[in-house]
Amino acid sequence: MPQDTALGFPSSSPPLPHGSERSTSGFGTNQHPAAAIDRPFWVLLRSSASLRFFQKPGFAFGGVVQVFPGHFGSSQGSSLLWSGRDFSVERPRRVCGSPMADTAPNGPQGAGAVQFMMTNKLDTAMWLSRLFTVYCSALFVLPVLGLHEAASFYQRALLANALTSALRLHQRLPHFQLSRAFLAQALLEDSCHYLLYSLIFVNSYPVTMSIFPVLLFSLLHAATYTKKVLDAKGSNSLPLLRSVLDKLSANQQNILKFIACNEIFLMPATVFMLFSGQGSLLQPFIYYRFLTLRYSSRRNPYCRTLFNELRIVVEHVIMKPACPLFVRRLCLQSIAFISRLAPTVA
């Protein structure tokens, strides 16, 4: 069967040359264009003038088919696209008032967050270890599973904090060297300080005061990275969690001061643990080294700031007339002794 008949066109003989009076492929040279209105529609489509119009970019025959469904043998909603000299039936690619039908659908909402986490694998690993540290520390502070389990969670929290500190130290100093210069540079990093801190208390008697710096530092850093994950997921994702993280960030300075206060008062606590039989002989000396590193920290000055604030407060109290003389003298001697032990800060 001829192709024209298959598409609903009537079978006929080939058209005469273009421009002749009896031509069916054009309007003819001696004929007014209006005279062609009475001709069959398929004849007009095969005219050169019509072809030049229909070959314009982006033209579709959807509206033509709806007007003349009988001539094309196609249902409403289909369109004919010109391909050489043949007509082929396809589904419409554009619907009026709607985007292109072949537009690819958007990906899942959390794809940006997953991509962000896969791109920053080391930061994601530290984020997960910090969340685990917060979990173990919370179960130690609130022993809902029993006192025996609380002691195991104490060690797990310190070990997880040691892992986080080691990963952070590797991120800051990726090229490890067995040299004195590298060790001196590593001791300037806060991550090295808390790696030493975790090793000091991991095998000691569980002390609630020693777990607070680990818990709060992990919470602050985990909150910072969680904000980045939420931003990668979407600017308006999880608004309740965002409000909690914003409140945590607003109190960051007070939290850091509380951490510094714990670091300071753990020094006399280690001495008390030694005399009570719950600490080792080397623990106060190693912790003193840790405290000097925190005092001279370049990135976290809160320990040094709190030492100065405590000195000002104590001096203000002992200078009052109601303070006994021996208490004043003891406090002044203690301040002078601690000032001599303080390292020199550049």
Q: Pick the closest to residue 213 from 166, 164, 260, 168 (CA basis).
A: 260
Contacts of 326 (CB under 8 A, 6+ apart): none
Could you read off the pLDDT of 280-335 as tens digits, one per residue? 889 999 999 999 999 999 888 999 999 999 999 999 999 999 999 999 999 999 99
Domain layout of the chain by residue ranges: 109-299, 303-345
Higher-confidence residue of 141 and 104: namely 141
Short-list 36, 62, 65, 61, CA closest to 48: 36
From residue 212, alpha-carbon distances to 207, 209, 323, 337 in Å are: 10, 6, 33, 27
How many CA atoms are closer than 13 Å to the CA of 11, on its beta-carbon side?
5
CA distance 208 to 329: 32
| Contact of 123 with 116, CB cutoff 8 Å | no
pLDDT, tens only, 37-95:
445 444 444 454 444 544 554 444 444 444 444 444 444 443 333 344 444 444 444 44
pLDDT in the model for residue 279: 81
80: nearest Cα among 108, 35, 42: 42
- Contact between residue 339 and residue 292 where contact means Cβ atoms under 8 Å apart: no
Q: What are the tens digits of pLDDT across the range 123-173?
A: 999 999 999 999 999 999 998 888 888 889 999 999 999 999 999 999 999
Nearest partner of 315 among 340, 295, 334, 337, judged by Cα: 334
Angle, CA of 70, 75 and 78, to the nearest 5°: 115
Residue 238 pLDDT: 85
For residue 87, which phi and psi values (nearest 5 degrees)? -110, 135
> If you search the block for the tokens 């809160």, which residue do you land on?
302
